[in-house]
Structure 1
Amino acid sequence: MSRITVVTTLSIALSGMLAMPAYAAELNLSVELPQLNVAEYHRPYVAIWLEGADQKVAANLSVWYQNKDTKEGHGTKWLPDLRQWWRKSGRTLKVPVDGVTGPTRPVGKHALKFSDRQPALANLAPGTYTLVVEAAREVGGRELVKIPFTWPAKSTQTAQAKGSSEIGTVSLSVKP
């Protein structure tokens, strides 16, 4: 093998290593909205956020609400029904919030993925946090599910919690 071939091969190999993606810490969750056997069903409003050890909101991850005008008015009127989220964070937000708010979702499992490169997690200090999922439904109930975890994860962490009415199983996976 000539010296030029060795240098070229080494250069190509090193450039390939530099082009490899850097892996980022991830927070993956699945939120299940159960099928309810009720006379009048409305999709629930859902807020998903992180609380620090001080129980203050560290990051809003997602808020699902009726974001269009209806005969009852604009859906933001009902956001205060998400009582815990509203008291801790919602009343200070001007919705819609890009990358956070979106329309209500139908019955089923909904997957969400967040990277430490996204605004919600980019400035999250190392520590103990709680994932909080709150759901409230018109002519229905209200429910809150919490899952504690550590950020950033040194190894993969997984946990689940199950609601009893408005929220089904909530699964969390935190990867380094």
Structure 2
Amino acid sequence: MLEYTASADFTIDNATDADLVAITDIYNEAIAERMSSADIGARTLEQRRAWVDSHEPRADYPVVVVRTADGATAAFGSLSRFHERAGFDGVVELSYYVGSAWRGQGIGTVLVDWLVDAARARGHRMAVTRIFDDNAGSTALMERFGFTRFGLLSDAVHMPGGIHHDLAYWYLPL
């Protein structure tokens, strides 16, 4: 099993079935906050299991969790196939979600660092991501890691309660 020690406080492990509840909870929290997911309704455990299982082959498209020193799952992230057409092979989509209780502690930085390194180690040639343009924390992370914003889809996301977001597109040559 892959294990990455980012610091004395956090480790990164391959996600297993035992992590599905935490992955689902963290993702559903992001949905409820309306700042990092365009889903508008909570996802079920089985829907998240299908999402994890879609990352095949797992050696190329990992799903990982960040654990705290006491074993709590604080975040998860993944590298996903960008597009099924073969000409896009080597381009991966990077995604990550940090539980609200653990934000501001460097976990997002540790996780993005791991995902970028993992994409390089697997021979991918480019990482891309999509972020709500008003998500200051994720925007700062992309800038910190040298991603370039290459597009903005204005008024792309409409959510209940009249919440609208522009969607920024970012890429990093690997």
Whether the TM-score (by the shorter chain) exceeds 0.5 is no
Larger radius of gyration: 1
Higher helix content, 1 or 2: 2
Task: Point out the structure with the larger strand share.
Answer: 1
